[in-house]
Amino acid sequence: MRRAPRRVLARAGALAVVLGPAMASASAFQVEARTEAQAYQIRSYRQSTPSEPVLLPRRRIVQYLGLTGYELVTGQDVGFESSLRLFADLGLPRGEAAKIDGLRSEDADLLYAFVRYGVGGVEGKLGRQLYVDVADILAFDGLSVRYMSRLGVGAEVYGGLWVKGAGFLSSSVYQPDGTRESDVRRLDQGVAGADPTLTALEPLYGAKLLLENLGGVAASLGYRRAMVDGKTDIERATVEARYGRGLGLSALAGVDFDLLRRQAAQARAQVRWDGEVLAVSGEALRLSPVFSADSIWYWFAYAPRDEARVRLDVFPRGVLRYYAQAVGSRYHTVINDTLQLAKVDLSGQRSSTLGGSVGASLRRERFRSALDVTYREGYGGSQLWADLTAGYGFGEGRFTLDGRLSAARIRDGFNPLLAGNFLGTQVWASQALSRAARLSLVLENNVNPFTRWDSKVFFLFDLKASL
């Protein structure tokens, strides 16, 4: 009788061996979660004076939850990715939040959630997804399909509804700028001029021709259009190209052309050379905000910013790394006066800035440190910044302690409160509770002429598990 349990266990083990492969699934899941408790202060612009600023305490809790699934169907490239953010502002009652456009005291934002399927050279995504190119970063609810042949030539098409703040579990982070998130409050009050189309659905569609890894060259030619209430809101054409083969010469370029205004909105060109111990790069950019066609800013104040950068990175053998960078910017001040909305004379105003930065970093076993110094002068005043960071890992990195000291001398030509010396300190302590969980505490304090004295406290709990 004493041997019976052993025979039962043996039979159970044999049964598991026989049935195991048939019952096993290749599916795998990864769960990532972060909890943030935030306590900080913001300056009040009411009942406040420059000499006696009033700081309003703010207490928020934010929860991020991500779920990723791989090979949901055995033997098939089927996956799922999602990220959800929930938040609550403990110092902002719902009644007060309802009086301000786009402000919520508590809510949930579905950042992305889509099913992905790939077979051969075809990949499709269905659901809420992010899309990034030289023109913009946007989110839409819909379908995207991408095909790439073995020759490195392909195409992609996508379409759906632009994710806007007034939508279901939506955030206004990725919607076009320059308009209010919603006019529901004004419509309820019967305010003249309230716009019901701000919350209207905004269909979008686009396509790209693709070229990948053809002699080290990758390129694309794209088109995108979005419509609101039957009218074009955004219409863009993009061209991007990239060349690189590891060390040596590499280059990239991209242009975003606004088809409504018939001019380049964004542009970037970079040439870089990478060697064994140093790298040199030169870059030119044109940057413009992506405004909705319903925004007055799109037609009235559309001037872009042009910038040029030259950078040298040196990484010799050893623990030290160095860099130096020169930057020049030009802020275009052209105001559209053909609409006769206003007459603005900006002649005589300097519209360019010059400056640069130098820095060094050190990493030796458990210790790491970096020093950066930046100076800019010209349009809007002058800025001198110095940042010193240092960190150390204890017990094979299970406990880490990082600190940062920032000092700045600012002279802002537009805001007299942004003038003088600014000092900030930050301490970040983090403890690994297990291989999947980590607890962190961040303390920050700032002393400056703008807020006088303000503090921030962040508590973070990170969890990452594979199933």
Is the distance from CB of 40 to CB of 55 less than 8 angstroms? no
Is the distance from CB of 291 to CB of 297 less than 8 angstroms? yes
Is the distance from CB of 308 to CB of 283 less than 8 angstroms? yes
User: What is residue 15's predicted lDDT score, i.e. its pLDDT?
Assistant: 29
Give the N- to C-terminal CA distance of the chain in Å, as an integer: 39
Backbone angles phi, psi at 190, to 5 degrees: 70, 30
User: What is residue 389's predicted lDDT score, i.e. its pLDDT?
Assistant: 97
User: What is residue 9's predicted lDDT score, i.e. its pLDDT?
Assistant: 31
16 by Cβ neighbours in 10 Å (0-12 / 13-18 / 19+) ranks as exposed
Strand spans (E) along 163-247: 203-214, 217-228, 231-244
Asked if the model's pLDDT at residue 81 lies above 60, the reply is yes
User: What is residue 158's predicted lDDT score, i.e. its pLDDT?
Assistant: 97
| Mean pLDDT of the 283-301 span | 87
Is the distance from CB of 307 to CB of 325 less than 8 angstroms? no
Average the pLDDT over each of 23-37, 90-104, 254-268, 386-400 and give the range with the smallest value. Answer: 90-104
Strand spans (E) along 44-76: 55-70
Q: Say how far apart CA 178 and CA 295 lie, in whole Å.
A: 5
Is the distance from CB of 106 to CB of 89 less than 8 angstroms? yes
Position 14 confidence tier, pLDDT thresholds 50, 70, 90: very low
Q: Say how far apart CA 439 and CA 243 lie, in whole Å.
A: 42
Whether the model pTM is above 0.85: no
Structure tokens at 107: 């809510």
Position 110 confidence tier, pLDDT thresholds 50, 70, 90: very high
User: What is residue 163's predicted lDDT score, i.e. its pLDDT?
Assistant: 92
Average the pLDDT over each of 116-130, 169-183, 249-263, 348-362 and give the range with the smallest value. Answer: 169-183
User: What is residue 50's predicted lDDT score, i.e. its pLDDT?
Assistant: 63
Asked if the model's pLDDT at residue 434 lies above 60, the reply is yes
Q: Say how far apart CA 81 and CA 371 lie, in whole Å.
A: 38
User: What is residue 184's predicted lDDT score, i.e. its pLDDT?
Assistant: 76
Q: Say how far apart CA 311 and CA 323 lie, in whole Å.
A: 7
User: What is residue 349's predicted lDDT score, i.e. its pLDDT?
Assistant: 60
Contacts of 358 (CB under 8 A, 6+ apart): 322, 323, 324, 325, 372, 373
Tell me which of 184 and 164 has the higher pLDDT: 164
User: What is residue 350's predicted lDDT score, i.e. its pLDDT?
Assistant: 65
Asked if the model's pLDDT at residue 108 lies above 50, the reply is yes
Tell me which of 49 and 298 has the higher pLDDT: 298
Position 22 confidence tier, pLDDT thresholds 50, 70, 90: very low
Structure tokens at 322: 């160095």
Is the distance from CB of 238 to CB of 209 less than 8 angstroms? no
Tell me which of 61 and 100 has the higher pLDDT: 61
Asked if the model's pLDDT at residue 54 lies above 80, the reply is no
3-state secondary structure of 189: helix
Tell me which of 283 and 170 has the higher pLDDT: 283
Q: Do strands 248-258 and 263-274 pair parallel, antiparallel, or not at all (unpaired)? A: antiparallel
Contacts of 243 (CB under 8 A, 6+ apart): 216, 217, 218, 249, 250, 251, 252
Q: How many CB atoms lie within 10 A of CB 84?
A: 17
Q: Say how far apart CA 443 and CA 221 lie, in whole Å.
A: 47
What's the pLDDT tens digit per position in 318-375? 899 999 999 999 988 766 666 555 555 555 566 899 999 999 999 998 999 999 999 9
User: What is residue 192's predicted lDDT score, i.e. its pLDDT?
Assistant: 78
Contacts of 461 (CB under 8 A, 6+ apart): 33, 34, 35, 437, 438, 439, 440
User: What is residue 259's predicted lDDT score, i.e. its pLDDT?
Assistant: 93
Is the distance from CB of 238 to CB of 135 less than 8 angstroms? yes
User: What is residue 68's predicted lDDT score, i.e. its pLDDT?
Assistant: 94
| Mean pLDDT of the 273-300 span | 90
What's the pLDDT tens digit per position in 373-413? 999 998 878 999 999 999 999 987 789 999 999 999 998 87
Structure tokens at 338: 């053909």
| Mean pLDDT of the 157-163 span | 95
| Mean pLDDT of the 73-86 span | 91
Tell me which of 421 and 26 has the higher pLDDT: 421
Q: Say how far apart CA 195 and CA 106 lie, in whole Å.
A: 25
Instruction: Find where tokens 């990758």 sit.
Output: 218
User: What is residue 338's predicted lDDT score, i.e. its pLDDT?
Assistant: 62
Position 450 confidence tier, pLDDT thresholds 50, 70, 90: confident
Asked if the model's pLDDT at residue 6 lies above 60, the reply is no
Position 45 confidence tier, pLDDT thresholds 50, 70, 90: low
Note the Cα 19 to chain centre separation in Å: 47
Position 5 confidence tier, pLDDT thresholds 50, 70, 90: very low
Asked if the model's pLDDT at residue 7 lies above 50, the reply is no
Note the Cα 441 to chain centre separation in Å: 23
| Mean pLDDT of the 183-193 span | 77
Instruction: Find where tokens 């962040």 sit.
Output: 458
Torsion of CA 449, 450, 451, 453, to 10 degrees: -20
User: What is residue 116's predicted lDDT score, i.e. its pLDDT?
Assistant: 95
User: What is residue 347's predicted lDDT score, i.e. its pLDDT?
Assistant: 55
User: What is residue 51's predicted lDDT score, i.e. its pLDDT?
Assistant: 67
Asked if the model's pLDDT at residue 417 lies above 80, the reply is no
Tell me which of 181 and 323 has the higher pLDDT: 323
| Mean pLDDT of the 262-274 span | 93
Q: How many CB atoms lie within 10 A of CB 119?
A: 10
